[in-house]
Amino acid sequence: MVKDVKDGPISIVTREETPEAFPTPEADSMLVGDDSFLSPPRRTLLHRVSYPPRVSLNGLLISLLCLLLVVMMGFVPVHLPSPLNIGHSVSSYDQLQLMRYTFQLPVALLVAAMMGPFMGTGIVFLFVALGLGFFPLFANGGGWQYVTQPGFGYLLGTLFAASILGRNFHKVFQKHDRVSRSLKLISQSLLAVLLVHGVGLLYLVGLTLTGQLPWPELTGWALRLTVETAPYDCLSTFVFLCLVRQFRLALWLVLY
């Protein structure tokens, strides 16, 4: 009941007399249903794993395992046909020029995209720091003197690419534009690999300008470190980036 004391004597107003002022429980439920659009929609599992996990203790432990994986990839080489075979007549497999290739770069980019801008970039940074200061984790050794090696520029490029990829990879799964997801994955892979090799080539030129690398050796190192490996880097990076959400789903209970 409501007491009305505005005009004259006190009067008693009942529910029957003013039904609009006291909606029935059925009306209340209808109003709640009409206003339900004001609450944020529940995100699906696939939507949540489209974004990198937050920094947590479990995430840091997984990051250490990912760091170990990146290190191991450098010591598990495979021998593949060199792209330099193109344009040469080869009658048998024995005549193919083979190259030594490791999946360290694609795995590092995969980890950066999966773990995000903080933990993912931190993994690559810790890998470079440990290789320079403590353990010979790189292809040709380690230590501070490794900064004068031709391959160090590619490590710097990997660090830059990991930072950009970890920060922007979630845009692949956004649907606000008309670009297909496959095209986004291809562009992300190409841009990351091109950044790595672009920084690496600039570093090679810098070494030659400072006298750390003879000019006649510049072309050979460029062919070995870029021309031979870049096609395999692009292909393997694209395949690995396609599996980012699957890896996050597999680690859902630990990362999210």
Domain locations in the chain as residue ranges = 2-38, 48-255
What local confidence, expressed as pLDDT, does residue 233 receive? Answer: 96
What local confidence, expressed as pLDDT, does residue 88 receive? Answer: 61
What local confidence, expressed as pLDDT, does residue 31 receive? Answer: 43
Q: At what angle do helices 104-133 and 152-168 cross, to 10 degrees?
A: 120
Which two structure tokens, joined as six digits, stand for 4?
Answer: 């009305």
What local confidence, expressed as pLDDT, does residue 10 receive? Answer: 47
Closest by Cα among 107, 121, 106, 114 to 52: 114
What local confidence, expressed as pLDDT, does residue 236 receive? Answer: 96
Q: Which residue, chain included where needed, has tokens 């007491």? A: 3
What local confidence, expressed as pLDDT, does residue 94 receive? Answer: 61
CATH T-level fold of 48-255? Arp2/3 complex 21 kDa subunit ARPC3 (1.10.1760)
Q: Residue 115, Cα to own-chain centre: how many angstroms? A: 7
What local confidence, expressed as pLDDT, does residue 59 receive? Answer: 93
The Cα–Cα gap between 76 and 69 comes to 11
What local confidence, expressed as pLDDT, does residue 15 receive? Answer: 46
Do 204 and 153 form a contact (C-beta atoms < 8 A)? Answer: yes
pLDDT one-digit tens code per residue, 59-92: 999 999 999 999 999 889 999 988 877 766 665 6
Contacts of 253 (CB under 8 A, 6+ apart): none
What local confidence, expressed as pLDDT, does residue 87 receive? Answer: 60
- Look at the pTM and tell me if it is higher than 0.85: no
* Residue ranges, the chain, pLDDT below 50: 1-6, 10-13, 15-40
What local confidence, expressed as pLDDT, does residue 249 receive? Answer: 93
